[in-house]
Amino acid sequence: MLDGVLSFTARNVLLGATILGVSGGVLGCFALLRRQSLLGDALAHAALPGVCLAFLLTGSKAPLPLFVGALAAGLAASLVILAAVRWSRIKEDSAIGIVLSVFFGFGIVLLTWIQKLPAGNQSGLDKFLFGQAATLVWEDVRVMAALAALALATVALFYKELKILAFDPDYAASLGLPMGRIEMLLTLLLVTVVVLGLQTVGVVLIVATLVTPAAAARQWTENLGVMIVASAGIGAASGVVGALASASVPRLPTGPVIVIVASAVLVVSLLFAPQRGLAWSRVRERRVTRRIRRENLLKDLYRVGEAEGTFARLVPAPRLMGLRGQSPARLAASARPLVGAGLVERRGDAMRLTEEGRREAARVVRSHRLWELYLTRRLELPSDHVHRDAEAMEHALTPETVAELDRLLGYPPVDPHGRPIPPPEAAETGTGPRRQAAEARP
Amino acid sequence: MSPTLAILLVAGAVSASCAIVGTFLVLRRMALLGDAISHAVLPGIVIAFFLTGRRAPLPMVIGAGVLGVLTVFLVEMFHRSGRLKEDASIGVVFPALFSLGVILISRYAAQVDLDLDCVLYGEIAYAPWDLLFVGDASWGPKALWVNTGTLVANALLVGLFYKELKVTTFDPGLAAALGVSPVLIHYLLMSAVSVTVVGAFESVGAILVVAMLVVPPATAYLLTDRLGAMLALGVGFGLASAGGGYALARWWDVSIAGAMATVSGLIFAAALVGSPRYGVVAKLAARRRLGGRLAGQLLLLHLAETAAPAATLQQRFGWSERRLRRTTERLVRRGLVERRNGALALTAAGAAAVARGPGAQLAHPLAEASGELAPSGGLARAQEPADGSV
Amino acid sequence: MSDGEPRAAAAPAGAVPAIEVHDLTVAYRTQPVLWDVDVTLPEGRLIAIVGPNGAGKSTLLKTILGLVRPITGWVEIFGAPYEKRRSWVGYVPQRESVDWDFPTSALDVVTMGLYGRIGWLRRPSRAHREIALDCLEKVGIRDLAGRQISQLSGGQQQRVFLARALAQDARLYLMDEPFAGVDATTERAILALLKELRATGRTVVAVHHDLQTVADYFDHVVLLNLRLVAAGPVAETFTSENLQRTYGGKLTVLTQAAESLLGERAAGGG
C-alpha cells in the first residue's frame, strides 16, 4: 500500500487516467449531443489496424507513428461509414457495426502477424486491447499531456463552431460555415481521445470514457459550458479513483475500474441530480397524484351534498368509495390531509365538509364545470364525452385561467349537465359584468 | 475428424447461426444492440463459471442469456427514462457490464483458463481438441455441438415465428393491431442473440461475433428485396467468410477469427460497390440515367414549341456541347427526333409522346423495385428516410 | 463575404427576382422528389409553398439553400448563385429539425444567427448579445432570453428560430412551416412580423401547411407536387382547379373552404 509518496508507476497511471478523463469528458459532450456516442466506439476499434500498420511500417512503438496510424484508420473508418450510409441503403447502425468489427478483425489479423515476427513478439501492441495502464512511462504521460492540451485548445478555439455543429448543422451550413470540415475536425479530436485511451483503458472501453461522464454531467446542468466542465471533472475523478484503486488492490485492472466508477456517478446523477433527477420526478409525480386525489374527494363530497340539498349530513365511507371505486385505504389516505387542514370533518367511518371545506370544494367544482362547458361550447364536443377530459384538466387550471374561462363563456350559471356552477369566492355585487350577464339572461 | 474439417465445421456453424439472427438485427436497426450484447454477456459467463466451477456450455448459455436480456432491459430503461438517448444508453450499459466481467476474471479467475484476449477474439484453432466426452467416448469438438445447437435453435425460431418476426420488423403498428406482441418478439430475438453470442464466444470472441452477426446479412441486404432471400444469402455469405477466412488465416498464419471478419468485410465491400441495384456504382449510374432522361424530356418539350438549331438549344439550357449531342443521339435513336435542314425537329412519334401530356411525362423514371425490403415496400413504409422532411 | 450590391429598402418594379429556379430535379436516393421545376419568385412579397406530403416543398427550400444537390437545374438568388448571396438569405428550418433538449438558452440560439458575421476564433461580443436580445424583442419573447430551450412551448421555440433568422438581417427569408403547431397568439405574432418584413421590402418564402390561411396570409403562392403545378399571385393562382391538380382530387372539404374564401374576398372587394 502506498503511503503519501506514490510509486512512479502509480503516479504515471494517475496522471494518464486523469488526462484521459478530462479529454474524454470534454469531447464526449459533443459526441453525446450529436447522438454519435457509438461512433467513438467504432473509431476506437478501428484504431487497432492503424496502430499495427504504423508499427509494421515504421518498426517503432513511439507515440507519434501510433497516433498517425490511429488517426488515419479513424478517418478511414468515419469516411467508410459516411459513404455507406449516403451511397447505399445500409443504415447508420449497421455501418458502424460493420466498420467496427471488420476493422478490428483486420487489426487482430495484423496483431497476430506481428506477434510472429522476431521483433514483434514483445511489441506490446496487444496491450491496446484491454489497456495496461501499469506500463505507462513518463514519456508516454508527457505525450498524452501534449496531445490533450492541443485537443482542448482546439475545442476552446472552435467552441462556437462545434456547438452549432452539434445543435443545428443544416442552419450552420446555410450561414456558410463549412460544416463538413468542422465535422472532420471533431472526428480528429475524437480520434485523439482514442489514442489517449489506448494504453490506459484499451480499445473496448474507450467509448465509456467518452459517453459516461458526459451523460452524467448532462443531468446536472442546462448550460453547455458548465456541462463540459462537469464532464471533465467527472472523467478526471473517475480516472483518479480508478488509478488509486488499481494501485492499491492487486489484480485490479485500471480501465474497468474507471468505467465502473464513472457508471456509478452516472447512476447517482440520473437519480438525484436537481431538476432532472428521476428520484425527484417520482416525488413530484407522487405529490401531484396526491393533490388530485384530495381535490377529487372534495368534489365528491360537494356533489353528494348538492344532491341531498345539505352539506351538514355525514357521508358514509362506502358511498364515497363507490363513487370512484376507491379502496378504504386510499380514501383514508386522501382524507387525512384534508382533515388536518380543517376542510373535512370525520366521525367514525363517515365524513363531511366543513365551512371552509365547502368553499374550497366549490372552487374545485367551479373549475371542473367551467372547463366542461368550455369543451362543449367552444370545441363542440358532446357533453357525454367531456367529463373525463375535464377530470384530468381541472387540477391544472390556475385561478387566472378559470376567471378567464368564466369571462369567455359569459359568466354562465350552469354546466352542460344543467348543474349550477358555483360562483367565485369574491362574487360581485352591484353592476359588474357578471351581474350584467345574469340580468341579460331571459 | 481432421482438425481442418473440425475448424471449418465449427466456423460454418458459427457464421450460419449468427447470420440468421443477425438478419433481423440489421433490418430492425439494432446492429449496435447486438454489439452491446456480445460484450455484456461476459459477466454472465464468468458468474456461471464461478457457480459451476467449470466451463460447461449449458450454465454459460444460461448466464449469457440472462445477461443479454438484462442488457436489453437496462438499455431500454435508460432510454425510457427520457434522460439518455438510445445510442448513449447502449454506450453506457455495455462497457459497464463488460468491465464488471473483466474485473471478475482478473480478480477471481486469473489462475484459471479464462483468457482475456480470448474473450475478444476467441481461439477457434483449439476447437478440434476441446472435445465433448460422453462417458468415455468422444463426440467431437464441443464448439461444434454448441454452435450447431444454436444454429438449429435459431433456424427453428425463425421457422416457427417467421410471420411474427416479419410483421414486427416491417410494421410494428400492424403487428400490435394483429395481436402479435412486438415486445415479446423483441425479447425473444434478443435472447436468441445472447445465446448465439455465447455459443460463438469461444470460437470467435466478442467483437468478431459482431462481424458474423452484422456483415453477411448487411451484404445480403444490398442484393435482395425479399426477406427469405436475405436470410439465405446472409447464411451463404457467412459460410463464405468462414471458409475464406480460414484459408486466409492458414496462408498467412494469423488469427482465424480476425481473418473471417476481414473476408466478410471484403465481400461486403464488393457488394457495396458492385450491387446491381443498391451498390454505389449502380446508384451513380442511375443518377446519370435520371439526368439523361430529364434532359431528353426537356429537349422534346422545347422542340414541340419550335424546331431549332443546336446552338440556341445549347444556350437555352446551359448544356455543354457533349451533353446536347448525347441527348440528341438518344432521342434520335428512339425515333422521337430527327435532323431536318440542319435543325432538330420532332418526329410524329415524338410529337405523340409530347401530346400524351404531363401524365406520360410524370411516369416514374426509375424501375420500381418490389419486395418487403424495397424502397416502397413494407420496411420503407415503416421507417422513414433519415432526412425526415420532404 | 462581400455582396456587391447595397440593400434596397423597397424593390422597384422590374427588379431582379428574388429567386429563380430552372429545370430543377432533385432525387433522394433513387426517388425523385422534385421534377423539372421552373419558377420565378418576385421580391418584396409573402410567398407560400403548398402541396401534399412528399411533394418536395422542404426539399425545394433546401436546394435553394444549397443543402441538397440537384441532379439537374440551377437556382439563382437575386441574380447570383447562393454562395454569393448567402448573407442576404435567412433560413428558418422546421422546428423538428433540432433536438430541443440541447443544453442552451434562447439567447444563445439567437446569437448563432450571428456566427457567420462573428467569424472564426472570436467570441460573441456584448454588441452581438444586444443584437440577439433585440431580435428576441421583435418576436416578443425578450423575457425568455435566459430560458433553457426545452422549457419553451412550441410557439416560443418557433419564435426563437425566427429571431435567429432576423439576426441575420437578410433580404430574403426562407421558412419551413413557420406556422405549424403554434398557438393562436404566436400565429398572430408571426404574421405581424412577416407583414412588417414585407413592409420594409424583404421577401419571405414559406412552406405552409394550412390551406385555409394561404389566401389571408400570403400574396403569392407556389403549388407543388413533385412538379410545379402553378405559381403566381394568390388571387389568380389559388383556385380550386389548381388545388385539385396539386392534391389529386382528394380535397373536397378543403377545396370548398378555399373556394368560399376566394369568393368572400372577391365579394368583399379583396
Indicate if the pLDDT at residue A122 is higher than 80: no
> What pLDDT was estimated at residue A325?
81
Residue with cell 454472465: B44
Mean pLDDT over the full length of chain A: 86
> What pLDDT was estimated at residue C11?
43
CA distance B373 to chain A (A): 10
For residue B339, the tally of other CB atoms under 10 A from its CB is: 11
> What pLDDT was estimated at residue B388?
39
Contact A360, A298 (CB under 8 A): yes
* Integer CA distances (angstroms), A403 to A129, A379, A416, B348, in order: 68, 19, 18, 76
In 3D space, the residue among A77, A1, A10, A76 whose CA is nearest the CA of residue A39 turns out to be: A77
Question: Which member of C27, C36, C53 has the closest CB to residue B287?
Answer: C27
Question: Which member of B29, B214, B279 has the closest CB to residue A88?
Answer: B279
User: pLDDT digit string (tens) for B355-380?
Assistant: 665 434 434 444 445 567 766 556 55
CA distance A278 to chain C (A): 16
Cell of C265: 374576398
Contact A270, B81 (CB under 8 A): yes
> What pLDDT was estimated at residue C270?
38
Kindly indicate the confidence band of residue A93, based on its pLDDT and cuts at 50, 70 and 90.
very high
Q: How much of chain B is in helix, strand and coil states, percent to nearest 5?
A: 75, 5, 20
Q: Has residue C145 been placed in a domain?
A: yes
Query: What is the percentage of chain A residues whose pLDDT exceeds 70?
Result: 92
d(C-alpha C82, C-alpha B220), whole Å: 41
In 3D space, the residue among B167, C103, B11, C113 whose CA is nearest the CA of residue A166 turns out to be: C103
Cell of C69: 444537390
End-to-end CA distance of chain C: 43
**Choosing among A102, A194, A227, A259, which should be mutated to test the B contact, i.e. which has the most B CBs within 10 A?**
A102
> What pLDDT was estimated at residue C260?
59
Which residues 342-381 of A are in CB contact (within 8 Å) with B?
none
Residues A39 and A127 in one domain: yes
Residue A71's identity, in one-letter code, is: L
Residues A67 and A181 in one domain: yes
CATH number of B281-361: 1.10.10.10
* Integer CA distances (angstroms), A95 to A91, A104, B127, B246, B384, in order: 6, 14, 31, 24, 18
Q: Which residues pair with C47 in a beta bridge?
A: C205, C220
Question: Which member of A38, A113, A256 has the closest CB to residue B254?
Answer: A113
> What pLDDT was estimated at residue B363?
40
Query: What is the percentage of chain B residues whose pLDDT exceeds 70?
Result: 83
For residue A95, the tally of other CB atoms under 10 A from its CB is: 25
Residues A84 and A149 in one domain: yes
Q: Which of chain A's residues have a Cβ under 8 Å away from the Cβ of B106?
A: 251-253, 256
Contact C84, C3 (CB under 8 A): yes
Tell whether B223 is within 8 A of chain A (Cβ): no
User: pLDDT digit string (tens) for A135-150?
Assistant: 888 888 998 999 999 9
Kindly indicate the confidence band of residue C266, based on its pLDDT and cuts at 50, 70 and 90.
low
Ranges of beta strands (E only) in B274-350 are 308-309, 337-340, 343-346
Question: Which member of A129, A251, A253 has the closest CB to residue B117?
Answer: A129
Contact A211, A37 (CB under 8 A): yes
d(C-alpha B165, C-alpha B189), whole Å: 9
How many CA atoms, within 13 angstroms, populate the side-chain half-sphere of residue B220?
31
Q: Has residue C36 been placed in a domain?
A: no
For residue B253, the tally of other CB atoms under 10 A from its CB is: 9
CATH code for the domain in which residue A411 is found: 1.10.10.10
Q: Has residue A3 been placed in a domain?
A: no
Q: Stretch B167-175: mean pLDDT, rounded?
A: 84
Q: Has residue A291 been placed in a domain?
A: yes
- Chain A: which residues have CB within 8 Å of chain C? 33, 35, 89, 157-158, 160-161, 163-164, 166-168, 170-177, 218, 221-224, 227
What is the CA B187 to chain-centroid distance, rounded? 20
> What pLDDT was estimated at residue A151?
96
Residues A317 and A369 in one domain: no
- Chain C: which residues have CB within 8 Å of chain A? 1, 29, 62, 65-67, 83, 86-87, 89, 91, 93, 97-99, 102-105, 109, 112-113, 115-116, 118, 120-121, 123-124, 148, 150, 164, 168
Contact B141, B6 (CB under 8 A): yes
Contact A272, B83 (CB under 8 A): no
Tell whether B358 is within 8 A of chain C (Cβ): yes
Q: Which of chain A's residues have a Cβ under 8 Å away from the Cβ of B262?
A: 102, 105-106, 109
C104, A163: Cβ pair inside 8 Å? yes
Residues A29 and A156 in one domain: yes
> What pLDDT was estimated at residue B387?
39
- Widest CA span in chain B: 96
Q: Has residue A397 been placed in a domain?
A: yes
d(C-alpha A229, C-alpha A167), whole Å: 18
CA distance B327 to chain C (A): 14
A89, B221: Cβ pair inside 8 Å? yes
Q: Stretch C15-22: mean pLDDT, rounded?
A: 86
Q: What is the DSSP letter of B375?
A: T
Kindly indicate the confidence band of residue C219, based on its pLDDT and cuts at 50, 70 and 90.
very high
In 3D space, the residue among A198, A194, A196, A161 whose CA is nearest the CA of residue A180 turns out to be: A161
pLDDT, greater one: B295 or C244: C244
Question: Which member of A97, A215, A259 has the closest CB to residue B88?
Answer: A215
How many CA atoms, within 13 angstroms, populate the side-chain half-sphere of residue B290?
29
C115, A222: Cβ pair inside 8 Å? no
d(C-alpha B200, C-alpha B113), whole Å: 17
> What pLDDT was estimated at residue B362?
38
> What pLDDT was estimated at residue C114?
92
> What pLDDT was estimated at residue C121?
83
* Integer CA distances (angstroms), B348 to A420, B337, B359, in order: 81, 9, 19
Indicate if the pLDDT at residue A28 is higher than 70: yes
User: pLDDT digit string (tens) for A29-87?
Assistant: 999 999 999 999 999 999 999 999 998 888 877 777 888 898 899 999 999 998 898 88
Residues 6+ apart with CB under 8 A from A314: A347, A350, A351, A352
What is the CA B10 to chain-centroid distance, rounded? 22
User: pLDDT digit string (tens) for A407-425?
Assistant: 878 888 888 777 888 887 6
Burial class of residue B12 in the structure, from the number of CB atoms within 10 Å of its CB (0-12 exposed, 13-18 middle, 19+ buried) = buried
Mean pLDDT over the full length of chain C: 84
Tell whether B318 is within 8 A of chain C (Cβ): yes
What residues make up the domain containing C110?
A: 94-170
> What pLDDT was estimated at residue A227?
97
User: pLDDT digit string (tens) for C48-90?
Assistant: 999 988 778 999 999 999 888 887 788 999 989 888 888 899 9
Burial class of residue A161 in the structure, from the number of CB atoms within 10 Å of its CB (0-12 exposed, 13-18 middle, 19+ buried) = buried
Residues A73 and A160 in one domain: yes
| pTM of the predicted structure, to 2 decimals | 0.81
Choose the weakest-confidence range: A55-69, B240-254, C113-127, C190-204.
A55-69
Q: Has residue A341 been placed in a domain?
A: no
CA distance B271 to chain C (A): 17
Tell whether C118 is within 8 A of chain B (Cβ): no
Residues A178 and A291 in one domain: no
CATH 1.10.10.10 domain range(s) in chain B: 281-361
CA angle in degrees (0–180, nearest 5) for A55-A148-A77? 50
Q: Which residues pair with B133 in a beta bridge?
A: B138
Tell whether B261 is within 8 A of chain A (Cβ): yes
Q: What kind and span of H or E run contains C32?
A: strand C31-41
Residues 6+ apart with CB under 8 A from B297: B361, C36
User: pLDDT digit string (tens) for A296-318?
Assistant: 888 888 888 888 888 888 888 88
pLDDT, greater one: C133 or B363: C133
> What pLDDT was estimated at residue C194?
95
What residues make up the domain containing A362?
A: 358-440
SS3 for B336-379, per residue? CEEEECCEEEECHHHHHHHHCHHHHHCCCCCCCCCCCCCCCCHH
**Choosing among A160, A219, A226, which should be mutated to test the C contact, i.e. which has the most C CBs within 10 A?**
A160
pLDDT, greater one: A241 or A429: A241
Q: Which of chain C's residues have a Cβ under 8 Å away from the Cβ of A223?
A: 103-105
Question: Which member of C86, C99, C112 has the closest CB to residue A176?
Answer: C86
In 3D space, the residue among A35, A312, A2 whose CA is nearest the CA of residue A166 turns out to be: A35
d(C-alpha C100, C-alpha C115), whole Å: 20
Q: Has residue C266 been placed in a domain?
A: no
Contact B200, B209 (CB under 8 A): yes
Q: Which of chain A's residues have a Cβ under 8 Å away from the Cβ of C67?
A: 170, 173-174
Tell whether C85 is within 8 A of chain B (Cβ): no
C96, B286: Cβ pair inside 8 Å? no
In 3D space, the residue among A98, A111, A97, A105 whose CA is nearest the CA of residue A51 turns out to be: A111
Indicate if the pLDDT at residue C167 is higher than 90: yes
User: pLDDT digit string (tens) for B15-70?
Assistant: 999 999 999 999 999 999 988 998 888 888 888 888 877 666 778 778 888 888 89
User: pLDDT digit string (tens) for B286-297?
Assistant: 777 777 777 777
Q: Has residue A1 been placed in a domain?
A: no
Residues A242 and A284 in one domain: no
**Choosing among A43, A96, A109, A276, which should be mutated to test the B contact, i.e. which has the most B CBs within 10 A?**
A109
The fold of the B3-277 domain, in CATH, is ABC transporter involved in vitamin B12 uptake, BtuC (1.10.3470)
A94, B31: Cβ pair inside 8 Å? yes
> What pLDDT was estimated at residue B382?
53
Contact A61, A121 (CB under 8 A): no
d(C-alpha C176, C-alpha C93), whole Å: 5
* Integer CA distances (angstroms), B377 to A269, B162, B217, B372, B382, in order: 43, 18, 18, 5, 9
> What pLDDT was estimated at residue C148?
92
Q: Stretch A113-120: mean pLDDT, rounded?
A: 78
Tell whether B289 is within 8 A of chain C (Cβ): no
* Smallest CA–CA distance from B290 into chain C, residue: C71
CA distance A221 to chain C (A): 7
